[in-house]
Each structure stands twice: as C-alpha cells, then as structure tokens.
Amino acid sequence: MSIKIKLPFFILLAMLCNFLLIVGYYHFYLSTQISETSNEVQEELQKETDRISAELKNRGDAVARLEKISETEHLLILVQDETGNILFQSGNKMGVKFEHRASALFPFQGKICILQITKGVSITNLSAFQNAHDLLTTELGIIFIVLVLSGVYIYVRYAKQVVSLQKKMERYQSGIRPERVKRRDEIGQLQNRFADLTDALEEEKQKQDRIIVSISHDIKTPLTSVMGYAERLKKKSLTEEKREQYVDTIYRKSVVIKSLIDDFDEYLSYHAPSSLRKQLITVEQLGQVLQLEYGEELRERGVPFSLKIGCPQVKLAVDLSKIRRVFGNLIDNSLNHRSKTPLEISAVCKRENGSVIFSVEDNGTGVKNEEELRKIFEPFYTSDKARAFAGLGLSICREIVEAHGGSIHAENRREGGLRVIFCLPEECGTGRHLIKKS
C-alpha cells in the first residue's frame, strides 16, 4: 500500500483508538465514579435540606434565615405551597451544567409548604470537579501513549528504512550492490529502482569493459605485426625487395588499425546524442538511391541484389545519409558471412500500422543460436569466432534506427541465412524538403 494512503489511514486509526479508549474508560470506570459522586452530593444536599427544614420549624425569622443561607452557600431556595404557588424565592440561577435538588416539608406562614433547595456546579468550576480532572488526565495519558507508539511505528516502518537505504547507497560506493525488497510502497519502489539502476550501471560497465578488451585485442594483433616488421627493417642486410615487402605489410596493418579506429569513432558519433538532419523522402525514392549505390557494385561482385517496394508513395522523414549507412552495414554484414552457396541479398519494404517495415536478408551462414542472435547488435560482438576483428556495423545500425524512433531485430531464415528487420515511423518529425529525383 502507498505511504500517502497508509499515513492518513494510520492517523485516522490512532484517532479512532483514542476515541474508543476514552469512551471505554468513561463507560466502564468514570461513569460509575461520577454516579457515586453525584449520589453522595445528592445525599449530602438532602441531609442539609432536612437540617434547614428542622432548623426553621416554628421560627419567626425564617425568611431572613433562608436569605442568608442562600447567599452564603450559593443555593437556590424555593418555598411552595401545596398548590404550587411560590411563597418565597432566594438566589439566582446561574449558568449550570450539573445540578442537584432536595425537598422537605416544613411549616411556613401557617401552612405546610415544600422547601426545595437546588445546588448547581457551574461550567466555569467544572475543571475543579474531581471526575472531570480524572477524565482530562486520562485523555492526556492516552494521547501520550498513542504518540509514543505512533513515533515508534513510523520510525521502524519508514524512517529506519530510509536510513537503511541511505547506508546501502553509501555501501554501493564500496562495491556492495543493494538487494531487492518485497514491500510495495514508495520506499520499496525506491530501493528496487535503485537496485535496477545499479544493475544497469554494472551492465554498462561490463559492456564498456568488453569494448576496451575488444579494442585492445583487435589493435594488438596488427600492432604487433607493425612492430615486428619495423624491427626487421632495422637490419642492414635486407634486400630492397624484402624492404619494400615489409613496408607494404606495415602499411596494410596500419590501414587495418586506422579502419578499426575509424569504426570506433563512427560508433561513438552515432552513439552520442545528436540532432538528425531529416528530410522528407518517399520509399520509392529511397529505393532508387539504394539501387544506384549498391546494385551495380554487388552485381560486379557476382552477388544478385533485389529490392521489392510495397508502399512506394509513403513518405518518411529521415536523415538520408544515416539510413544509407544502415543498408550499407547490413549488406557488408551479409558479404562477410557468406556460405558455400553463391550469395544472394534481397530487401523488401511494406507498410504496417503507421510504420514502414524494411527487411534485408541473405542466404549466408546465419547465426548459430538464439542467444547469439540477441547479441549481434551489441558493439564488438561477432558470431564468427574465427574473425580477427569484431565489428561495429550492426551496433551502428541499431543506434541510427532507434534515433529515428524505430526498432530493429534479426532472425534466422528457415532456408538458411539471416534476416534483419527494422521499422521507421511514417512521416516522423518535420523534414526540410522532399528529395529531388536524380
């Protein structure tokens, strides 16, 4: 349950517990005490009334005596005859919350009358009433206990967990990764998100380590050759033919190193956030660009290339140079993974759910298993363990496609070979112009 729901619920529960406790205290204990106290006051007042009635019996100054008693003892005194007529009244009725009355018969002015004495407890004097004092003391005690228990609960359930999470964050600096928790409130979600973040950081770190190891390995081999041949060039006994051969070898190995570094620089440039220079282009025009750029080249290399467009007039907003790079990398990947069967490359395009789906496939070696199939878009990953250099081409393809708001994946063909499928949103973004036909 969410904390923003728990805390109001907890406060409401604490108030309810306080109410039930004070009601229970009053019902089972204090009401009995109040009743007993009230009975005692009533009995005392009745005794006082009987005493006054007896004292005033047959006295000629009964009126003066009643007035004095009413004034000194703050009593309301009434004398009524048998018909209810008031013969005497003394004392003012004040703001009274609780009052007690007592009556007695006594002779007054030659008649048998009713003496009624009322004793009240004013609200202003209620705090002095012992029962009210007990109730207030009990309420303060209950509030104190509820506050203490609430503080302990909030500390154990929330504050302690926040402090614990802070310590886990500090321990992560020492390499201790946080564990996930089962609690579903904001604190649990925060810790689980922190754990997810550490997992992502660890995965990124491992990815960077793999890249560094791969670069180191890939550069080391040609660099060792360069150093070896350079060492041989120092020998004075070398023939001119051998010298030229060694220089050519050094140059070729240097080109390999430069090519690897250029690929890595290109990967970083695509991987870094950058603005795309989009322009509007129809799928048909994009197909024409691809045919001009790759069709003739592949035919010269003896590789048939076919392109089928199912939605020629659909428009895309793309960075044309980068999309050309995607197709170029996919074609290079097919050329690098030929099988014994003569290589064939084909591309298909169709429209589906507001996106344009491109599929580039070949009849090459494909990928051995599903695990490797999921990794081929990672930087420096290659399914061909015999290759000296792991490529960045497919990783660059993923960066470009995702930068356009699309997605890319690969699958093995049943007939053999690999199929790479990527989609681009139809008319995504705002382009500068529609490319002119050449």
pTM of the model: 0.48
CA-to-CA distance for 116 and 80, rounded, in angstroms? 8
CA-to-CA distance for 411 and 419, rounded, in angstroms? 5
Phi/psi at 401 (5° precision): -65, -45
Q: How far is CA 327 from the centre of its chain?
A: 39
pLDDT by 10s per residue, the chain, length 438? 566 666 677 777 777 877 787 777 777 776 777 677 778 888 888 898 888 888 887 777 888 888 888 888 888 888 888 888 888 888 876 555 567 888 888 888 778 888 898 887 654 444 445 556 666 777 778 788 878 887 788 778 777 778 888 888 888 777 787 888 887 777 777 888 888 888 888 887 877 776 676 667 667 767 888 888 888 888 878 888 888 888 888 888 888 788 778 777 766 666 655 667 888 999 999 999 998 888 888 888 889 999 999 999 999 999 888 898 899 889 988 888 888 889 999 999 999 988 999 999 999 988 887 888 888 887 766 555 544 334 677 888 888 899 889 999 999 998 889 999 999 999 754 444 454 443
Whole-angstrom CA distances from 17 to 6, 9, 135, 347 are 16, 12, 16, 73
CA-to-CA distance for 326 and 329, rounded, in angstroms? 5
| CATH architecture of the domain formed by 276-425 | 2-Layer Sandwich (3.30)
Sorted by where each begins, the domain ranges of the chain are: 3-127, 186-270, 276-425
Contact 349, 180 (CB under 8 A): no
DSSP per residue over 376-406, as a string?
A: TTSTT--S-TT-SS---HHHHHHHHHHHTT-
Q: Do domains 3-127 and 186-270 have the same CATH topology?
A: no
Phi/psi at 386 (5° precision): -80, -15
* Closest CA relative to residue 195, chosen from 212, 176, 211, 223: 176
Whole-angstrom CA distances from 238 to 57, 229, 233, 245 are 156, 12, 7, 11
Q: In the structure encoding, which two tokens stand for residue 234, read together?
A: 């120092």
| Whether domain 186-270 has CATH 3.40.350.10 | no
Bridge partners of 317?
280
Task: Note the pLDDT of residue 134.
Answer: 67
CATH topology (fold) of 3-127: Beta-Lactamase (3.30.450)
